[in-house]
Each structure stands twice: as structure tokens, then as C-alpha cells.
Structure 1
Amino acid sequence: MPDLGVYNMATLTGLLGPAKAVMAMTSIITPERTVDDKGKIKVEAEDNAHLLLEHDKGVISHVMCGFNFFDTHGHEAKDQKLHSIQIFGNKGNMRLIGYDWETNGVVLDNSETEPPQLLETEKGGYEWQEGARVTGESIVTGKEPRINVEHALHVLEIIEAARKSSDTGMKIKLKSRFPWPMV
């Protein structure tokens, strides 16, 4: 979860608001893995996780993450056409094409008669590695970045609560919040 799922947890809580509770199931599917620079390693943390996050106003989100899902693109998002995040509502849905750390657009489907629209294909120069620049700029200008410490700590609490939920089979209430909406 902290390697891959953290991105989806941050994106979903950023869009939908802080989570109030989490239920999860986690497992290790591949007990031994070959890592490029380390050779064979024993897997000690979950490599398969499914989380249900409860947000305000009855909103529920789901995160599925792990190292066991086949994807021809691997982690290269440049030519990715599949969606990694999908938001459903009663008047439409939107799908984030590619990964939330490197998107290739958003598909908006909100008409029963018109085809879905591909929007926001331009990244505006954004690179996912810009976190350090944004943080430095925030320190210099005194302007709070959209991604803040409270949000990061909230996501960390989600990860820990998901592990506890998986271990106990219980829904775990969360205590942390962060300033929302973010824009």
C-alpha cells in the first residue's frame, strides 16, 4: 500500500474529502520476488490490498493495489489508455486515463446520447517529480501547497487502519482530517 496505493488514496481523499473509516483485506500473493538491484527478496508487506473508504455524505471509494496485476505498460504511463481512477455519480462518470502520478487525460461520460469526451490531455508541463519544487516554492512564498502535511498524515492513517482492518476483520474509524475542499 505505501508503494502504490498511496497515490490513489491521496487522489481519492483529495477529490472526495477525508475518509471517516476504512475496511480492508490484504494478503501476500507472491512470497518471493526478484528485484532488479537486489535479486530475490522475501516479501514481508502486503502485495495485494483492497480498501473501502467511507467519506462524508454516504460516499464510498475503493482502492485496489498490489504488485500482482498484469499491465502491459508496467509503471510507464506515457501510452497508457486504460483508466486508473473512476468516479461514478448519478449524472455521469469520469475516468482518469493513465496513472494519477502521470495522467493522459480525463474521459467524461455524462450524456445518454453523446459519446464520452476526452478532456484535459495537456499536462501543462507537469512532471510527477515536481513535489520537491512545489514544497520549496511553498517555503519561499509562504503559500500553503495543495498537498499538505495533514493530508499526508491522513493517508498514512488510512494505510495503518487498513492493515488493522485486515488483521481484525473490523471497520476502523479514522481520527485525522485535512483542509477540504482543496481548491
Structure 2
Amino acid sequence: MHKVGIGIIGCGNISSAYLKAMAAFPILDIRGLADLNEDLAAQRASEFGLTARSIADLLNDPEIEIIVNLTVPKAHVAVAMQALEAGKHTYSEKPLGINFAEGRSLYEAAKSRGLRIGAAPDTFLGGSHQTARAIIDSGVLGLPVGGTATFMCPGHERWHPNPDFYYEIGGGPMLDMGPYYITDLVNLLGPVAKVAGFAFAPRSERLITSEPRNGQTIPVHVPTHVAGAMAFRSGAIVQIGMSFDVAGHRHVPLEIYGTEGTLIVPDPNHFGGQVELLKKGGAFEHQETSAPYADGNHRSIGVADMAHAIRSDRPHRANGELALHVLEVMEAFQRASDTGTTIEMSTTVERPAPLSQSITDDHLAR
């Protein structure tokens, strides 16, 4: 196997999960970490036995083929553009950009250079979500007619040490958590055709109760409660609710309804979880996981899949078309709320190829 050189820009909270998971994918050769905060980069490099380098050094290294962009949302496109200009493929944390226009500019820049872009989330590649997809594809649900997608919590200022970016442009529950839910729904049901929705910000500031900034307040620049519906090109209609303003609820993360049954899909922010199937006239029954990557946090599998795809000249799954479509869908909720109209999508996307076996299997890795 000819390894793929990886450079990581951004050494914040999420980088630890990526670095732990990357160790399980032999194709990934991490050649250095960088951050505007050099001390943070040095700390993370020391923690994982890697090398802290400057951003310019990573971008100029001919052995690095993919830049993994783990910066805050408002920097995603700027950093990814730098990578493209340096001739590197790039894979970003979610969302692809803080708005559809800049996401599209990144997509077009990559296409014009013959380079790949990818973006989180890659949790839809987890074993439980691939099992759910296999059940839908088997036809046991009959014709998919609808579903629900629900993420609701009191806000991330309870636990995150620096929660400001969750309430800045590019944050909020839709752009922060929506990518997990909408990406998984596209994996399960295909592309979205239209969106209707409402968005609301009940508070203009939030009180941090996590350490080390307990007691500080931060301003809110985005809606923190969003509700609406997505009409998929297949005809299915899914209700969605995303909120940082709910003390508690009893909804499951994802339900898919068909003419012949109902499917319970676990939290799309995780790779595993319990899949349940109810066939018409019966009761919910636990479904055995039929795909790999359901047993832990495999955050970075999207990078590994991209690396294998580069070597074998095939499409990668957590790709730019998917991320751009999801970004357009998410932005459409605000547009629908602002205009009081239903928003039609200008993009579409093919469902990514299913993942039923390890990406390191020979027939996939070639």
C-alpha cells in the first residue's frame, strides 16, 4: 500500500478524535500538525507523537497530498482554498462553508484544478447507518413516505471550554448539528428537492457555565431554534427540528416511515447504536448490525476513504458534491423563514456508494 501524506491544520477540540481514529487506517501518513496557536499545535503533536509545523510548511511539503482542515467554521473555506492553491486535496470539518455561496466557490475551485474536496460528517459511514441503509434498499419498508429528524439540547456553553463559535455565523444548531442528520438522510433517502422552515433566536446572549470561563456571557448571532420540512426528490417528506434552546425531549434522533414499516435510526453523530425495524402489523425489533465501523469513534474514516479513492481512482464517499448539497439544504431553512416561501434546491447529488465491508479490504483499497 502506497500511503497518502496528511497534513492537519487546526488543533482544537475535535483534532484529538481525528488523531485517535486515524491510527486505525494504515493508508494515512500524518506528516505534521499546524495551528495559528503554535503552543496548541505543539501540545497536540506531543500528545500523539507527531510533529508540529507551520501552516506554510505543511502547504509546501510535496509529500502531503491531503490537508485535513479542522479549523473553526468561519475559516473552513479560506484554509481549504489555501490547500487547493498549493495543489493539495482538502477535507474539512463540517460544515463545508458558512454559507452556500462560499461553499460553491470552494467546490468550483477544486473542480477547476482537478483536485478533490471532502467534508465531515463521515458518521453516515458507520455500521449502524449503513445497516439502516441496507434495510431501506432491501425494500422491506415499502415506499419511503416520510420521517423525523430531531436534535435538541440546552446549548453547548454547558460543556465546551470556548463555545463562542457555536453562536457565530456558521454556527447554530442547524449548521453545527444539521450536517449529521441531513447527510445521513441523503445517504438513506437521496437528495432533497425543497425546504420549508422557520428560524428563531429567543436569546441575544448566552451564559457560559463550563470551565474555564464559567460566568462569562457571549453574544448570539444566529437562530438557535430551527424547525421545518424537507421534501426529497424521491417524494418522501421529513420533518426536522434543531435547537440549542430545549431543556429536554423524548424524540429519537431519526425515524424513517415507509408504506410497509418504520425504521428507527440511531444518533447520526455516532457510528453505532441500535437500529430498530417495525414491519406493518408487528412490533419494533432490534436489527443486527450488518456493516463495519459500528463499535467506536471512527471520525476520520472519510479521510481514509478519500485516500483509498485517490489511490484506486474511484469517487470518495464524504465528497464535495454531498457536502455542498447539504450546505444548501441547511441554508434554505433560514431563507424559507426570512421569505415565507418554499425554497427549491439548485443542487442535487448521487447517494454515496454503500459501505458494507472495511475500506481497507483489498477490493476497495486498490
TM-score interval, normalised by the smaller of the two chains: 0.7 to 0.9
Alignment of 1:26-175 (within 5 A): 26-35=199-208, 36=210, 39-71=216-248, 83-97=252-266, 99-102=267-270, 103-113=272-282, 115-120=283-288, 123-130=293-300, 131-175=302-346
Q: Which residue of structure 1 lines up, in the alignment, with residue 360 of structure 2?
A: none
User: How many angstroms apart in 2 are the aligned matches of 1:52 and 1:87?
Assistant: 14
- The alpha carbon displacement at 1:86 in A equals 0.2
Alignment RMSD = 2.4
1:77 alignment partner in structure 2: none
Structure 2 vs 1, CA of residues 43 and 178 (structure 1 numbering), >3 Å: closer, same or farther?
Answer: same
CA distance in 2, matches of 1:128, 1:51: 30
* Cross-structure match for 1:76: none
**1:163 to 1:140, Cα distance in 2 relative to 1, 3 A:** same
Shift of 1:32: 1.6
Q: Cα 1:34–1:140, aligned 2, differ >3 Å: closer, same or farther?
A: farther
Identify the structure with the greater strand proportion. 1
Specify every segment of 5 or more residues in structure 1 that has no aligned partner in the other structure, as ranges.
Answer: 73-80
Provide the rounded CA distance (Å) in 1 between the counterparts of 2:353 and 2:228: 23
* Residue 176 of structure 2 corresponds to residue 3 of structure 1: yes
SS in 1 for 2:330: helix
Closer, same or farther: CA 82–161 of 1 in aligned 2, 3 Å: closer
Alpha-carbon contact 1:17-1:181 (below 8 Å) kept: no
Contact kept in structure 2, 1:24 and 1:51, CA below 8 Å: yes
Secondary structure of the residue that 2:346 maps to in structure 1?
coil
How many residues are paired up? 173
Task: Give the 3 Å change call, closer, same or farther, for CA 132–71 of structure 1 in structure 2.
Answer: farther
Shift of 1:144: 1.9
Report percent identity of matched pairs: 25
Greater radius of gyration (CA): 2
Larger RCO, structure (CA 8 Å, separation 6 or more): 1
Is it true that 1:13 corresponds to 2:186 in the alignment?
yes
Structure 2 unaligned regions, length at least 5: 1-173, 355-366
The CA distance in 1 between the partners of 2:309 and 2:199, in whole Å, is 36
Between the aligned partners of 2:234 and 2:280, the Cα distance in structure 1 is 25
| Counterpart Cα distance in 2 of 1:29 and 1:120 | 42
TM-score normalised by L of structure 2: 0.43
Retained in 1: the 8 A contact 2:224–2:245? yes
- Aligned residue type for 2:229: L
Shift of 1:127: 2.1
- TM-score with structure 1 length normalisation? 0.82
Letter in 2 for 1:110: K
